[in-house]
Structure 1
Amino acid sequence: MRLDAELYYVREGVVNTYATGFIVPVPAHIADLEFMWQSLGRKPLPYVMDIDYESRGAMLPPQVNISERGYVPTTLQTFRVRLPCTGSRSAEILVSMQLNISAPDRASRDVRLNFKRNKICLKGLSTVVSHNETARLAGDVTRSSNGVLFAAGGCAAAALALLAAAAAAGTLYRRGNKARHHDSIQ
Structure 2
Amino acid sequence: MIVLPEGGEYAAERAIASSGLPFTVHSTRDQGFTAAYSGGIAPTTILTRADRIQFTQNDALPTSFGSVSLTSADRAGYSILGVHSAPPLPALMDAWRTDLKTIAESAASEIPDIIAGDFNATLRHGPLARIQGYKDASLACSARGVGTWPLSLPDSLAAPIDHVLVRSDTKIQRCASSQIGHGDHRAVIVTIAR
Please give the TM-score of this superposition, normalised by the length of structure 1: 0.31
Q: Using CA pairs below 8 Å that are at least 6 residues apart, which structure has the higher relative contact order?
A: 1
Q: Which has the larger radius of gyration?
A: 1
TM-score (norm 2): 0.30
